Amino acid sequence: MYQIQANPSGTRKIDVTEEHLQTLKKYQLLRDLVDSNGIITDDVVDKLRFNVRALLESSAEDKALLRLCLDVVYHPNMKAFALHQLVLCYVNWLPTAASEENEL
């Protein structure tokens, strides 16, 4: 389990599990999410929420996607800062996931 900071002072945190990260990878939810300027704003958070909502409408059967929504994407503390921390967590986690896939 990973914890990401939800605000700059570090008083709020969001728990992110391995399953959440796998779901992000499976649906490529962070791919092409950020504009070319590379700045994550609240508009980017809304874009992620719209993308996830569309996926949920088309595949309501996926419990992992639903858990990702409830636990992370629609978390009350998910703002631009928290999304930036989630992206950093995901980028740091990717090599670990890739090495585990290669071992199988």
pLDDT at 68: 96
Tell me what pLDDT residue 104 has: 60
Mean pLDDT by 10 residues, the chain (104 residues): 96 97 95 90 96 88 92 97 97 88 70
AA letter at 10: G
Q: Any idea what DSSP says for residue 72?
A: I
Global pTM? 0.92
pLDDT at 61: 80
